[in-house]
Amino acid sequence: MKYLLFLIALWSAITSAQAPVTSADFENQTISIALTQEPPQLNGMKATDQVSNFILPHIMEGLVRYDRRGRIVPGVAHRWEIDPDGMGATFWLRENALWSDGKPVTANDFVFAWRTTLAPKTASEYAFILFPIKNAEAANKGNAKLTDIGVTAVDDYTIRVELERPTAYFIKLTAFATYFPIREDFFNSRGDSYAADAQDLIFNGPFRLTEWVHSASLKMEKNETYWNKEKITLNQINAAYITEDSRARLNLFIDGKIVHTRLDGETYKDALTQKQRIRSFSTGSIFFLEYNHREGRITDNLNLRRAIQHTFDSDKFVNNVLATPGNLAAESLFPVWLQGVEDKFRKEYPAAVAVVDQELAAEYLAKAKAELGIDEFPALILLSGNTPTATKQAEYLQGLLKSRLGLDIKIDKQTFKQRLAKMTSGDFDFVLAGWGPDFDDIMTFGDLFASWNLNNRGRYSNPSYDELVRVALNNVDPKTRMDAMAKLQKIIHDDAVILPMYEQGVIYLMNSKVRGVVRRVVGPDPDYTYSRVIK
Amino acid sequence: MLAYTLKRLLAGIVTVWFIATATFTAMHMVPGDPLMNDKAVSAEIRANLERKYGLDKSAPEQYVIFMKNMLSGDFGISFTQQNRQVNDIIRDHFPVSATLGIMAIFFATIGGVLWGALTALYRNRLPDIIIMFLVILGISVPSFVFAALGQLLLVNINSLFGASIIPVAGWGTFSHMLMPSMVLGLGTMALLTRLMRSSMLEIVNEDYIRTARAKGLSPSRIFFRHQLRNAILPVITVLGPQIAAITTGGFVVELVFAIPGLGRYFVQAVQQLDYTVIMGTTVFYGAFLVLMVILVDILYGFIDPRVRLS
């Protein structure tokens, strides 16, 4: 028996060696990758996570899409026009845009998808991204009929959108997964199982999902019905592995099984010893220390926050604590990549920087004590995630605030869901938080601390901040909007609303035979749509 | 025999019910909110989500609904994989974990029994000392270390040959299963070795062994017919729970080797507070464990005629 088993093992070892699978196959234009997680589902109406938002734009297409350089280019719509007052837009659809079963993509597919996303019973967590559309928010709350939503199919190939308010970035929004079309008859034929498996989906994007073995693999093949298929070189993207373990992914990369893997603090060192070529990319997300501004909280005291502001050195933090390439020191809520009027926002409106000054910090701290009427600060709670990275950051802050300001910090380490629950209920003094962009406009960050924003978990509330957000929301003129955001940037600094810590960078390995992969701040990342394998 | 089996099964059902109830209570007492995600949602959407998953009802009501559905074999839909039935998840992924587990048990039992017998035969001599040292390593080193080392070993072997001899991760062919099942079985193998060794040592001095020797039986016949057969009983005893532990406890191995097993769902569901998947997998595994224990007890009677099942 054992002998037999050994023979089987030997045989299978030999056969698997005979058919070598390479991660980047030039002949077949095929690449293999690993996913960190199984996509929860591939229903564009409900997708919230990174993996779904990576796969969906490869297999679906919205009215517009992002090109290699991150500019908006035609997708299903070949032309669009925004009303002069910014209160509406018209899209003209190309007639050669087809679903993978050969039927044309029509205006109704968009209308249906948007209405269904907004339907209260769908309970989409991303419904808010459709709210610039007229009556969308009301319909989502059940206060308006779905048919009252400001989107209509004028004919099969024309869509008319009425907006709630002038929205400067509306066209960019239509590149987002929540805005992708869904065909009504197909959706209804699948009922609750829509997008739960490969055969429960139809596609209008550059690739088709042909195989989905749950928590094992997904296979995407070139979509022969895609209108722009001449521009697509890759025949197959094979997500052959799904594992969260970054070391396992590094091993797979070294073994030539996958073309790309993201590194973390530990695997970074291994990749260095392996003499791998390490690349870095800025994700466009900002990480910060969020204060609890609720009344009665010690962190509601401005002078305390200022003392911390003059203690923390972002440069030092990025270089000595994070200590992996790619991260940038943070100076503002707005990351450097955001577009301003003509140039990058942060070039046009540089952020004020608090100098690290121990004496100044001590002065602010003394003032805070006087205002609060206390001699000693009680222990303050720093809420943090339970990942090694989060722990390292929390411990650094704990040490820094103790040694420089004499503040006692208690670290409250929680799992993801529990940290969120505590953030929402306000059970913290500080929390390590972050924010990533949903769309390519400054407003994706700008309204974060508006008093009505539910993601403003520290409950910062300032009428002048709210007013500036409204100005930027209700105007289409870039100069007016950016001026407002510059004032808002100043408020965040002067009021020490948050303590910006770093702009996140990721480090990764990429097989050098794969070219044309686009790393994106918004949209699918990495984007393999226009990539190819060279010899 | 039949009455005994029925009695055990009945007790088993009560145990499973208890597991389900305890898990349900513990799960609802864990702080945190299963419906909460990165982006905050409005009260209206929140209410709709609660309604969808039946969380708008009180905990006792939810318990009653859950028990009713469980009796009809329905665990509902997953919170995180929103369009998948928990039953589908178990059906799709348990066979993978089971295959991995059976192979691991196979390695562990063969290895454990042989090494154990060997160490007993060479008691306090070099092979014994070496193997027992390795056994202590096997018991004390956690499986994620072995998993990482095992995978690294494969990477090095492959790079040595310049070709992919054995896949470093993934699932599908027999060669995919070798390293993960060995890694998974290592701890059990170490445990069984120790158990086998001590039970062998006890038996070596028994009267009937001396009798057998006096009869002039060959050493190999004594070893296989008398020593091994008697010494293996304690091994069988722990095998039941070990099978359950191995087929359920492969989380780390499944993660490192990118294997689509149920162990990943089992652990991740707890982290994500995916209520339905927590309940489904726990009840399923609980029932599986209970069944294994009963099976082993019944098996006992066949292996050792001295044990009367009553």
Residues A351 and A80: their CA atoms lie apart, in Å, by 35
Tell me: pLDDT of A6 over 80: no
B93 and B75 inside one domain = no
B207 touches chain A (CB under 8 A): no
- A7, with CB counted inside 10 A (0-12, 13-18, 19+), is exposed
- Say which residue, B228 or A218, is predicted with more confidence: A218
Task: Determine the pLDDT at residue A19.
Answer: 40
Q: How far apart, in Å, are the Cα atoms of B203 and each of A89, A166, B197, B231, B238?
A: 88, 88, 10, 7, 19
- Work out whether strand A158-162 and strand A151-155 pair parallel, antiparallel, or are unpaired: antiparallel
Q: Which residues pair with A208 in a beta bridge?
A: A221
Is residue B211 helix, strand or coil? Answer: helix
Mean pLDDT of A105-123: 95
Helical packing angle, B262-271 and B86-121, nearest 10°: 110
CB spacing of B45 vs A125 below 8 angstroms? yes
CB spacing of B33 vs A257 below 8 angstroms? no
Residues of A in contact with B281 (CB under 8 A): none
Out of A209-223, A274-288, B219-233, which region has the weakest mean confidence (pLDDT)?
Answer: B219-233
Task: Determine the pLDDT at residue A3.
Answer: 52
- Nearest residue, CB atoms, B42 vs list A48, A214, A454: A454
Tell me the helix, strand and coil percentages in chain A, rounded to 5: 35, 20, 40
Phi and psi of A42, rounded to 5°?
-115, 35
Mean pLDDT of B169-184: 90
Q: Name the residue of chain B whose CA is nearest to A128's CA.
A: B41
Mean pLDDT of B55-63: 91
Residues of B in contact with A213 (CB under 8 A): 260
Task: Determine the pLDDT at residue B159.
Answer: 85
Task: Determine the pLDDT at residue B222.
Answer: 86
Residue B31 is assigned to a structural domain of this protein: yes
Counts of helices then strands in chain B (DSSP H, E): 14, 0
Task: Determine the pLDDT at residue B142.
Answer: 86
Task: Determine the pLDDT at residue A17.
Answer: 43
Give the number of A-B residue pairs with CB atoms closer than 8 Å.
Answer: 173
Q: Count Cα atoms within 13 angstroms, Cβ side, for A117.
A: 31
pLDDT tens digit string along A402-458? 999 999 999 999 988 889 989 999 999 999 999 999 999 999 999 999 999 999 999
B68 and B97 inside one domain = no
B89 touches chain A (CB under 8 A): yes
Q: In what helix (H) or strand (E) does residue A499 lie, and over which residues does it extend?
A: strand A498-510
Q: Which residues contact A289 (CB under 8 A, 6 or more apart)?
A: A308, A312, A397, A430, A431, A432, A433, A498, A499, A501
Write down which residue in B204, B230, B247 finishes a domain. B247
Residue B188 is assigned to a structural domain of this protein: yes
Residues B152 and A245: their CA atoms lie apart, in Å, by 13
Task: Determine the pLDDT at residue B294.
Answer: 87
Tell me: pLDDT of B207 over 60: yes
CA angle A95, A96, A99 (to 5 degrees): 105
Residue B19 is assigned to a structural domain of this protein: yes
A141 touches chain B (CB under 8 A): yes
B70 and B112 inside one domain = no
Q: Binning pLDDT at 50, 70 and 90, where does residue B53 land?
A: confident
Residues A483 and A349: their CA atoms lie apart, in Å, by 8
Residue B172 is assigned to a structural domain of this protein: yes
Q: Is the CB of residue A288 less than 8 Å from the CB of residue A314?
A: no
pLDDT tens digit string along A300-321? 999 999 999 999 999 999 999 9
Residue B209 is assigned to a structural domain of this protein: no
Residue B213 is assigned to a structural domain of this protein: no
Strand order in the sheet with A236-242: A24-25, A30-35, A236-242, A217-222, A207-213
B74 and B114 inside one domain = no
Residues of A in contact with B80 (CB under 8 A): 40
Is residue B94 helix, strand or coil? Answer: helix
Q: Binning pLDDT at 50, 70 and 90, where does residue B34 land?
A: confident
Q: Could you give the ipTM of this predicted complex?
A: 0.86
Q: Which residues contact A283 (CB under 8 A, 6 or more apart)?
A: A436, A504, A505, A506, A521, A525
Mean pLDDT of A77-84: 94
- Say which residue, B309 or A382, is predicted with more confidence: A382
Residue B60 is assigned to a structural domain of this protein: yes
Residue span of the structural domain in which B132 resides:
89-195+242-247
B20 and B111 inside one domain = no
Q: What are the DSSP calls for B42-64, one per residue?
A: -HHHHHHHHHHHTTTS-HHHHHH
B181 and B107 inside one domain = yes
Tell me: pLDDT of A329 over 90: yes
Q: What total number of domains does chain B contain?
A: 2
pLDDT tens digit string along A449-498? 999 999 999 999 999 999 999 999 999 899 999 999 999 999 999 999 99
Tell me: pLDDT of A524 over 70: yes
- Say which residue, A70 or A130, is predicted with more confidence: A130
B110 and B149 inside one domain = yes
CB spacing of B41 vs A454 below 8 angstroms? yes
Q: How far apart, in Å, are the Cα atoms of A22 and each of A254, A261, A381, B170?
A: 12, 15, 50, 14
* Alpha-carbon distance A460 to nearest alpha carbon in chain B (angstroms): 15
Task: Determine the pLDDT at residue B297.
Answer: 81
Average pLDDT, chain A: 92
- Nearest residue, CB atoms, A251 vs list B110, B155, B265: B155
Residue B141 is assigned to a structural domain of this protein: yes
Task: Determine the pLDDT at residue A18.
Answer: 40
Task: Determine the pLDDT at residue A21.
Answer: 58
Q: Name the residue of chain A whose CA is nearest to B172's CA.
A: A216
Q: How far apart, in Å, are the Cα atoms of A312 and each of A26, A321, A358, A401, A500?
A: 50, 12, 10, 9, 9
Residues of A in contact with B32 (CB under 8 A): 414-415, 417-418, 420-421
Sign of CA dihedral A213, A218, A221, A227: positive
pLDDT tens digit string along A248-291? 999 999 999 999 999 988 899 999 998 899 999 999 999 999 99
B106 and B56 inside one domain = no
Q: Binning pLDDT at 50, 70 and 90, where does residue B308 land?
A: low
pLDDT tens digit string along A9-52? 444 444 444 444 588 999 999 999 999 998 988 999 988 888 99
Task: Determine the pLDDT at residue B223.
Answer: 83
Mean pLDDT of B3-31: 91
Tell me: pLDDT of A379 over 60: yes
